[in-house]
Amino acid sequence: ASTLGAAAAEKGRYFGTAVSLNKLSDSTYSTILNREFNMLTAENEMKIDALEPNQNQFNFTTADRLITRANEIGAKVRGHTLAWHSQQPGWMQSLSGTALRSAMKNHITQVMTHYKGKIHSWDVVNEAFDDSTGGRRDSNLQRTGNDWIEDAFVTARAADPAAKLCYNDYNTDNWSWAKTQGVYNLVKDFKARGVPIDCVGFQSHFNSGSPYPSNYRTTLQNFAALGVDVQITELDIEGSGSTQATTYGNVTNDCLAVARCNGITVWGIRDTDSWRASGTPLLFDGSGNPKQAYTAVLTAL
Ligand code: XIL
């Protein structure tokens, strides 16, 4: 196949990108989006501050346009994200205790009900683990009690039973890192106790501080062996040229080697669309031309 999405589909997988809704009017951007990708994630527009700017007042207008575009091009949508310490609206930042726990659950229920039947996978909880200790990250949500994560997943299952429910995080790629083990133990515990969880998202923002690890495939395999799907959810790779292309190819091959790795999403289209302040971490250059990294992914698929 000649596009990322079609090639991935031939392997029973999807190939997605983060979408910034205000760029849909950019014709170069939109042309690549429509041609190459069959899974879309809103880069910011389905986050808590975007959807619930005032408590219990929801604004779905912008995010709904992502669903519309996905329907037009035959793509699916990953929902990102329902419970997170970051990009919370001010009113939520100032809540604590049972009021915050209730607000979290209400947000999950209202948003998932609005999008019921329209979302392939939801990142129910994002980035709940500490970077170094393997324990939980301190946050207002964590301070509502250690059971906040399972409370979020149980609430999510009730709201849209058809959506796959994912835990999503970064720096969980290297099997030997404490954070990876912390998340692994959470998933193992949820499976043992029957807490609903269907998938684990590996953001996979690779750079010199957290490079692509040689045991990445092992990590994906070990999580999948717990009985969950695994998805590469926010891929970008620092670097350029053949070195970067090789790593993109390796990541693609690792996903294909794991039966339960459903798909890969890159975190933006052109290098100039990247959230990274500098560098060239994506598959298309600033003019929208496919890079060596693009060819490496397409060849691997
Ligand atoms: C980033 C967006 O790309 C930026 O535009 C925004 O300013 C901050 O958030 N992990 C995540 C994503 O789960 O939501 C983040 O996206 C990148 C890191």
What is the pTM assigned to this prediction?
Answer: 0.98
Residue 214 tokens, joined: 């040689």
Residue 222 has which token pair? 């070990």
Place of tokens 């289209």: 269
- With a CB cutoff of 8 Å and minimum separation 6, the contacts of 286 are 270, 271, 272
Q: By percentage, how much of the chain surpasses pLDDT 70?
A: 100
| 300 C-alpha to ligand 1 centroid (Å) | 27
Closest C-alpha to 169, from 209, 196, 142, 137: 137
Q: Secondary structure of the chain: what % helix, strand, coil (to 5)? A: 45, 20, 40
**What is the per-residue pLDDT across 164-173, written as a single tens digit (0 to 9) for each?**
999 999 999 9
Q: What is the pLDDT of residue 164?
A: 98
Residue with CA nearest ligand 1 atom 15: 43
The verdict on the CB of residue 265 being under 6 Å from ligand 1 is no
- The whole-number pLDDT of residue 247 equals 98
DSSP reduced 3-state for 30:
helix
Per-residue pLDDT band for 252 (boundaries 50, 70, 90) equals: very high
Query: Where does the chain have alpha helices with state H?
Result: 4-10, 27-36, 48-51, 61-73, 90-93, 97-114, 148-159, 178-193, 216-224, 241-257, 292-300
CA 44 to CA 63: how far, in whole Å? 9
**How much is the CA Rg of the chain, to the nearest whole Å?**
18
Q: What is the ipTM of this complex?
A: 0.99
Contact 52, 112 (CB under 8 A): no
Q: Is 126 in the pocket of ligand 1 (CB under 6 A)?
A: yes
Please identify, by atom number, the ligand 1 atom nearest to the C-alpha of residue 205.
Answer: 18
CA distance 52 to 46: 9
Q: What pLDDT, on a 0 to 100 scale, did the predictor assign at position 114? A: 98
In the residue annotation, 234 being an active-site residue is answered as yes
How many Å apart are CA 189 and CA 191, to the nearest integer? 5
Residue closest via CA to ligand 1's atom 3 equals: 275
pLDDT tens, residue by residue, 78-94: 999 999 999 999 999 99
Catalytic residue chosen out of the listed positions 43, 127, 234, 238: 234
Residue 296 tokens, joined = 């490496």
